Structure 1
Amino acid sequence: MRIHYLTLCAALAGILSGTSSCTRSSESEQTIEAVQTEQNISQVFDNYFEDRLKLFPLEATAIADNRYNDQLPNTLSLEYEEQVRQLYQKYLDQINKVDRSKLTEQEQVSYDIFKYEMEMSLEALKQPDELLPINQFWSMPITMAQLGSGSGNQPFKTPEDYRDFLGRIQGFAVWGDTAIANMRRGMAAGVVLPRSLTQKVLPQLQAMVVEDPKKTIFWAPVEKLPDNFTTTQKDSIRQAYTRAIKEEIIPTYKKLHDFMKQEYLPKGRTTSGISGIKGGDAYYRYLVRYWTTTEMTPDEIFDIGQQEVARIRSEMEKIKEQVGFKGDLQAFFRHVNDNPKFMPYKTPKQVLEAYRSIEQKMQPQLNKLFGITPESKFEVRQTEAFRAASASAEYNPPAPDGSRPGIFYVPILDATKYNAVGMESLFLHEAIPGHHYQISIQQEQEGLPKFRQYAWYGAFGEGWALYSESLGKELGLYTDPYQYFGRLSDEMHRAIRLVVDVGMHAKGWTREQAIQYSLDNELTSKEAAVAEIERYMAIPGQALSYKIGELKIKELRQRAERELGSKFSISAFHDEILKGGVMPLAVLEKKIDEWVAAQKKS
């Protein structure tokens, strides 16, 4: 329609003026070319997203696109890797043919993100990820249990839904065999997990190995068969799931467990950092770039981490003095950790209700800080028992069609020992206005290409969530000095990550050194410090994204406040950050600088 309208206007202008000049013809051709370029790039983005979902069906399920719910590709196979490589190369070639200068401002942002994504994804395929397919934090055995529990992304509402998951069970059995083959290749190449991490994986796998299929988490959806299913359908599903769990699920977990215990564990490395594997130094430098979306070096990040630890520590000292505590900071940590007055709960329900009350408390202030708010529903839930012991509090995004709310998962092993200090900052980070606002608003934005609506960049997403913690006082929270101390402790936690992650993966630190550094500088228990340090060992570089992203967003806010003065609007700034969705930090900085320039002119 737009091409026809512009062409018609150009022709009419020539007729009415009695001319048909080359200038007007040229202008018309340029306009048509620009429109065609716009249409082409939109088609590139649409085609990419469609092609991607076929190769990454779990991503489709996560956004309630049910077309591929029966598929679980063997992501560890060489054939699959080649298909993924062809996908990224094909679309990198296509985007390189687009003239960026002829795009609109929004399209140029999309162009920059898309090109970055294709290039980084191709580089990722050169890394040895497929030789390290399992860890205690992120891996297919954990994902399958979450999907199969009936409380995750996989729907269990129709007979077809139940049949779909049987297809994924078959895919998991194939994946498990390839995982073992790949780990054997890793053993031969010197690319293996640290021994301490393998020891954490073993009980996770063992928990799924039972005699009775009805005793596994995979039976939960069968326990809750919808009432509208016929008796024949229910019987058929029970029989199919009994067989699939007994013959495919349990044997796959057993095979993985026995292999990792008998063959893999003895070959586990004693080093803590990824530099301990062959090519580990180069791999870590890539991971730093991937997770921070910057060109920062490990040394630069290490120095920033040390500076932040010192700054936050001095703020902690002030709170200790404010509450009149006598003793050093270490003693204050122990006081906050161990004093029963900070553990007022008796049941998990009380813990969840306390989190819900935080949302109510800050509700009146949210409209002052945000013009755009999510339409998606939101819930607080207790983390499932099977993974609670090794899980952190986390956020699971909503389904775009409204069929599943955004969920803030809280692991509660013993409610009577659940410490209330830091609950406000944790809610701000994981829920509102952290991950729930950022992810929901991104998904709900009309006009964004789908690859941006459902994208994730840790430096932006986790950076925003950590920045959200700093908004507590503006939202009417942190009135209790102990809750503010909890906020400082959470910020310290992310600053420590910069030091220990680089320390272990690039500077030869041991697991024990990193644990001790955490215990010396933050409010934590020995058990929690061990779990966190082992998380950084399992996913090198990921822990860097939080603080690096937060510091960039704070820097952009301070710059905007300084340059705009009385024209600065905090809600407009937040909206500008959120409405474009996640993006590499350099793209975000350019976008905000252009927004500031536009505000100056308005």
Structure 2
Amino acid sequence: MRKLVLQTLAAGTLLTTCPLPGALAQKAPAAAKTVGAKAVTTTASAPLAALFAAYWEDQAKLYPLSATAQGDYRYNDQLPNYETRAFRQQLQQVYQQYLISLQKFDRTKLSAEDQANYDIFEYEMKTRLDGLKLNTWMMPFAQFYSLPNNLVQLGAGTGSQPFKTVKDYDDWLARVDKFPVWADSAIGNFRRGMKAGVVLPKVLVLKMVPQLQAQVVTDPAKSLFYGPITRLPASFSEADKTRLTAAYQQAIATVLVPTYRKLADFLQTEYLPAARSSTGIGAVPGGTEMYRFAVRQMTTTDRTPDAIYQTGLAEVKRIRAEMEAVKKQVGYEGDLPAFFNYLNSDPKFTPYKTPDDVLNAFRAIQARITPHLPKLFGRTPKSPFEIRQTEAFRAATASAEYNRGTPDGSRPGIFYVPILDATKFNVTSGMESLFLHEAIPGHHYQLSLQQENTTQPKFRRFASYSAFSEGWALYCESLGPELGLYTDPYQKLGALGDDMHRAVRLVVDVGMHAKGMSREEAIKYMMDNEPISEQGATAEIERYMSWPGQALSYKTGGLKLRELRARYEKQLGPKFDLRAFHDEILAGGSMPLAVLERRLDAWAARQR
């Protein structure tokens, strides 16, 4: 996707704390699975399940914002300060203890499914421990990942924070009351980074300041955080309505506005002069190690940055040839850069007048693919789905994105589309491929089916490995012809543009962070190879600057899935069932690519 809403290392991934409970000695009864015509017996390990359950309970307490996003509302009044050294030390101790407890199990005696659980959990603990060795905490947030921005979405009532009961409203007041302490610690970490030379690029800081300043208002009623008060449920008593209105006005005026002002002023007056003019993370002390870790974490592979860079160059060359073929098909006689300029400038490619026109065009794409979906998918999610315009306060720096719903369906999965000016929304931007990626069958199918699968331990139901989730979504873009799309050559070109976008990412991400490529060179390379505006290319490149390595996950995962599909089509011949292949991928949920490959190899063996 253009952006899947996740927490990052700097903002805190799904984490855990507290000692483990005593290991149980018994095993659960064997359960029979039916695979084709054969019954396969598996044994679920109760002690292992208890370990996973303890982990999940602990991380919900430690990272309650993540719990809220997953529909666990027990800690909706909490906002722990994860910017402290004590917190990081606690994490190191906890992950090490969970890893030790896991490795007491004999993996060879576990069922196939528990072996996968073991492998994923071990990978997760080791990766988190490795991440804690780095000084990424010295850059607490940036323009693309930001607790202050996340709080606005939550507090406006448009995110996962519920505002249905009086307790919900009181929970939010308690949560934001802890924001100033977090902000002070974040400033402290920024200052430590300034002393160590581990700082963000100036161009990113210049984008962060307006985001924070936008929340500084003189009239609380004009704050986005006042939104829930404008929608107070009629069932509330008049006394509660009066109390909550006064409390929200006070919280905005005395807690939120001063904190956002303090953060903005610090970044503008103190941090900006110390920010760096360099582009890539490799320029800061320890940056080479930070990037190598980011590559490993985001791709879930041991591929080197240089190998990924070479893959990017090869993919750019391949896709350019396909773009040339489409250019020839539509009769355009200029070169490819001129063709891109034509696509970006001819008025016929910007036919929309209002945001609703854009949203309805995406709804029409959904209607076109719906009849074809049963041919490719046996598993479909129960979760509802909506298409919405991205909120104005964050639209300028947002990409199109998918926000997962809750497992019980009380909040739908939402495909957000940023529309700054509907009259400039270009139909050749890859609308069809974007929908397949962000919405259906991409992120909505994968994330919804994963969290609806109650047979999995929760650490897998809510797991998110970018190489899997983004790889799956990119793979879904390639299903366009099988879903009745890309019949218009310009939409096919848009899909090629999206594929090219992910190939270019391999080149510019590694180029900036490991090979000395500048921001300006990266923007030019992107514009030379895909139909994207300078504004769009700038936003993308600055995103990669703020989140090293994440952009590598798309192509890495997408190419792996295409490779596996081709392998099994060749191995199985007429026995290959595409729908069964897709269902098997989605059945296990997000996981490291090596674990996925083992799982699918076993599935293919059963088909024979």
Q: Give the TM-score of the pair, scaled to structure 2.
A: 0.93
Which of residues 575, 578, 590 in structure 1 aligns to 2:598? Answer: 590
User: Residues 114-167 of structure 1: CA distance to partner in whole angstroms, max 9, x if unpaired?
Assistant: 000010011111121211012100111111111111010100001100111112
2:228 and 2:555 mapped to 1: Cα distance? 39
1:232 and 1:278 mapped to 2: Cα distance? 56
1:216 and 2:223 matched: yes
Residue in 1 aligned with 2:118? 111
Sequence identity of aligned pairs in percent?
58
1:378 and 1:420 mapped to 2: Cα distance? 23
Residue in 2 aligned with 1:253? 260
1:446 and 2:454 matched: yes
Contact 1:52 1:87 in 2 (8 A): no
Q: 1:391 to 1:3 in 2, by over 3 A?
A: closer
Which of residues 138, 141, 145 in structure 2 aligns to 1:131? Answer: 138
> How far does residue 5 in structure 1 lie from its aligned partner after superposition?
8.2
Which of residues 427, 431, 435 in structure 2 aligns to 1:420? Answer: 427
SS across alignment from 1:68: coil
1:191 and 2:198 matched: yes
Note the residue ranges of structure 2 that are not aligned, 5 or more in a row: 1-25, 31-40
> How far does residue 215 in structure 1 lie from its aligned partner after superposition?
1.3
1:287 and 2:294 matched: yes
Contact 2:382 2:409 in 1 (8 A): no
2:175 and 2:135 mapped to 1: Cα distance? 25
> How far does residue 39 in structure 1 lie from its aligned partner after superposition?
0.9
User: Residues 17-49 of structure 1: CA distance to partner in whole angstroms, max 9, x if unpaired?
Assistant: xxxxxxxxxxxxxx9xx96x8111111111111
1:415 and 1:577 mapped to 2: Cα distance? 37
Give the structure with higher Rg (CA). 1
Residue in 1 aligned with 2:102? 95
Contact 1:51 1:87 in 2 (8 A): no
Q: Give the TM-score of the pair, scaled to structure 1.
A: 0.94
User: Residues 51-92 of structure 1: CA distance to partner in whole angstroms, max 9, x if unpaired?
Assistant: 111111011101111100000111101122222223212211
Contact 2:27 2:45 in 1 (8 A): no
SS across alignment from 1:121: helix
1:279 and 1:501 mapped to 2: Cα distance? 17
Residue in 1 aligned with 2:269? 262
1:342 and 2:349 matched: yes
SS across alignment from 1:67: coil
Which of residues 557, 560, 564 in structure 2 aligns to 1:552? Answer: 560
Deviates most, 562-571 or 208-217: 208-217
2:374 and 2:467 mapped to 1: Cα distance? 26
Matches within 5 A, 1:56-95: 56-95=63-102
Residue in 1 aligned with 2:376? 369
Residue in 2 aligned with 1:43? 50
Matches within 5 A, 1:5-20: none
2:160 and 2:133 mapped to 1: Cα distance? 30
Which of residues 239, 245, 254 in structure 2 aligns to 1:238? Answer: 245
How many pairs were matched up? 572
Residue in 1 aligned with 2:474? 466
Residue in 2 aligned with 1:9? none
Contact 1:309 1:495 in 2 (8 A): yes
2:325 and 2:481 mapped to 1: Cα distance? 17
> How far does residue 501 in structure 1 lie from its aligned partner after superposition?
0.2
Flag the structure with higher helix content: 1
Residue in 2 aligned with 1:150? 157
> How far does residue 4 in structure 1 lie from its aligned partner after superposition?
10
> How far does residue 345 in structure 1 lie from its aligned partner after superposition?
0.9
Which of residues 372, 386, 390 in structure 2 aligns to 1:383? Answer: 390
Residue in 2 aligned with 1:18? none
1:401 and 1:419 mapped to 2: Cα distance? 36
1:95 and 1:5 mapped to 2: Cα distance? 21
Residue in 2 aligned with 1:13? none
Residue in 1 aligned with 2:316? 309
2:243 and 2:28 mapped to 1: Cα distance? 57
Note the residue ranges of structure 1 that are not aligned, 5 or more in a row: 7-30
SS across alignment from 2:375: helix
> How far does residue 446 in structure 1 lie from its aligned partner after superposition?
3.1
1:173 and 1:161 mapped to 2: Cα distance? 21
